[in-house]
Amino acid sequence: MRCTAANILLFAAWIVAICPLQTIRAQTQANPPPATQTVVVDVRAPIHPFPHYWERMFGSGRAILSLRDSYRRDLRTVKAATGFEYIRFHAILNDEVGLYDEDAGGNAVYNFSYIDQIYDGLLENGVRPFIELSFMPKKLAAADVVQSFWYRPIVSPPKDWTKWEDLVSHFAQHLVDRYGIEEVSHWYFEVWNEPNLDFWAGEPKEDTYYHLYDVTARALKGVNVRLRVGGPATAAAAWVDRFIQHAADNRIPIDFVSTHVYGNDSAKDVIGTDETIPRTQMVCRAARKVHDQVKASPRSDLPIIWSEYNASYKNETAVTDSVFMGPWIADTIRQCDGLADIMAYWTFSDVFEEQGVIKQPFYGGFGLIAENNIPKPSLNAFKLLHRLGENRISVDTDSAIVTRRLDGTLVAAVWNLYLPEEMDGQEKNVTIVFKGLTGHHRALLYRLDSAHGSVTAAYDKLGRPPYPKPIELEQLRHAADLQAPEPQALKHGEITIVLPPQGLALLEIR
């Protein structure tokens, strides 16, 4: 084309016309329009009971840590947020607690000083023990076999089974004498921790664990038949069906079954298949498996207690310290409804030393609260979900729970769940339509996302200091607080909520 003045003007005009279109197309590709969803809630639909099984119990660091002020401060924070009833921890029998010793003649010597301080402290804060009977006192161990945790628990069977039985009997009798059977009958006694892993050195593992369980259960019932005992406390939902059959065949006392699962456990270990089960489904796939095993067993009436669960058994900052936990916890509650009596989140606090002394506040710890009483998004998720009602209304969606409280308040949780590794998450516009809603109502909206109830941005702004100064700690705690609810307009029974990726919202219709 010949380069004349007229041609140059025509070319310039074409550029001006086409560039805005190209810019719009590029922006559209980079920022796709939000996804949309409509959730229809028939407020007259049938309801079913919705007990808050996910907030009845929490796990925690080992027993001796419960004597620390930081532990008890975090316990009170979680108690205020959830009203939880029970706490579980490892190592009540470890030598650092001082319960068991032997004199020069090999006779047992018992010391209940720290035992009493531990359980007194829990009860004074309105929480009962879920007693995991572990690990082996050194002078009672058949061998010096230790597990790899920083505090080196001894995982050997006892050298003398009669002495183990006496230890269990003296321990239980002391608790009954001190607190009364009316109180202790509400507690739980769980025999050992994850005997299918390296927490139990008996060989063969399963058979020797059953012997441990049998001796322990009979010793507890020998003190008082009202004491509740159960197991097998396995990792990856293992052994439950065979454990129940063993107890039934041998007439061994059993009052509940307990087991564990984590969102990143493998399908091979949990389900026995080679499929890939995402982190968002693993926990409740395991819950379904165990539920069905119990219902098909000779003891179909047994309560099912998941005495440990979480989205990860590793230290993954992008998981347990992040806003991902909000929708993950909500969706887990939705999926596991009706499959368990208690599900105990592992753990309530990062006052926790399995890998050693904490080196920085946010390292992917299991706790709801980071070091120095800094709330994580997971704590705020439990705070919000505590507001759900006692009855659940069925809705046709996998990203909402709708409930009614006893006072008639409607409470809906909605979320926008993306895995941490999914970098292309979109906003979602969720319209909730309440059919059959009459009269005047007030709507309040609570939010949990990267801009609401998350400390991550504030910690990044400080430069992620490993040892925040007191003034910085106050800034972090303030940033982690849930904000006040936002009044919402409810027009013709409808409301639209914009959810960012990994966002959780809770709506109250009063």
Q: What is the DSSP string of 101-146?
A: EE-TTS-EEE--HHHHHHHHHHHHTT-EEEEEE----GGGBSS--B
What pLDDT shows up at residue 437?
Answer: 85
pLDDT at res. 424? 81
pLDDT of amino acid 264? 96
Q: For residue range 246-281, what is the model confidence (pLDDT) as tens digits?
A: 999 999 999 999 999 999 999 999 999 999 999 999
Q: Per-residue confidence at 24, pLDDT binned at 50, 70, 90?
A: very low
Assigned CATH class of 32-48+395-509: mainly beta
Quick check: 470 pLDDT over 80? yes
Q: Which of 308, 316, 371, 508 is catalytic?
A: 308
The answer on pLDDT for 2 being more than 50 is no
**Burial level of 52, CB count in 10 A (0-12/13-18/19+)?**
middle
* Cα–Cα dist 231/414, whole Å: 35
| Cα–Cα distance, 219 to 505 (Å, whole number) | 48
Quickly state the pLDDT bin for 165 (edges 50, 70, 90): very high
Q: Does position 93 have pLDDT exceeding 90, yes or no?
A: yes
- Kindly state the average pLDDT of the residues 139-157: 97
Confidence of residue 455 (pLDDT cuts 50, 70, 90): very high
Average pLDDT of the chain, as a whole number: 93
Per-residue model confidence as pLDDT tens digits over 319-337 = 999 999 999 999 999 999 9
Instruction: Give the pLDDT score at 474.
Output: 95
Q: How confident is the model at residue 19 (pLDDT cuts 50, 70, 90)?
A: very low
- Contact between residue 379 and residue 482 where contact means Cβ atoms under 8 Å apart: no
In the chain, CATH 2.60.40.1500 sits at 32-48+395-509
| Portion of the chain with pLDDT greater than 70, in percent | 94
User: For the residues of 295-356, what is the DSSP string, one character each?
Assistant: HTSTTTT--EEEEEEES-SS--HHHHTSTTHHHHHHHHHHHHTTS-SEEEES-S-S---TTS
Please give, one letter per residue, the 3-state secondary structure of 405-454: CCCCCEEEEEEECCCCCCCCCCCEEEEEEEECCCCCCCEEEEEEECCECC
C-alpha 345/C-alpha 313 separation (Å) is 12
Which of 130 and 29 is assigned the larger pLDDT? 130
**Residue 262 near residue 309 (C-beta atoms within 8 A):** yes
Task: Identify the pLDDT of residue 32.
Answer: 65
pLDDT of residue 344: 98
Is the predicted pLDDT of residue 47 greater than 60, yes or no?
Answer: yes
**Cβ(305)–Cβ(254) below 8 Å:** no
**Which pLDDT band holds residue 31 (cuts at 50, 70, 90)?**
low
Query: 194-241, pLDDT tens digit by residue?
Result: 999 999 999 999 999 999 999 999 999 999 999 999 999 999 999 999
**Does pLDDT of 62 surpass 80?**
yes
Residue 262, beta-bridge partner list: 310
- Superfamily of domain 51-387 in CATH is Glycosidases (3.20.20.80)
Catalytically annotated residue among 55, 132, 190, 194: 194
User: CA–CA separation, 501 vs 36, rounded Å?
Assistant: 13
More confident position, 23 or 310: 310
pLDDT of 8 reads 36
What pLDDT does residue 106 have?
95
More confident residue, 121 or 34: 121
Q: Supply the pTM of this predicted model.
A: 0.91
User: Has 194 been annotated as catalytic?
Assistant: yes
If you average pLDDT over residues 438-454, what whole number do you get? 91
pLDDT digits (tens, 9 = 90+) for 404-415: 999 999 999 999
Residue spans in the chain of domains classed CATH 3.20.20.80: 51-387
Amino acid identity for residue 72 in this structure? R
In this predicted structure, the answer to whether residue 1 has a pLDDT above a threshold of 80 is no
Mean pLDDT value across residues 76-86: 98
Q: Catalytic site residue 353?
A: no
pLDDT at 55 over 80: yes
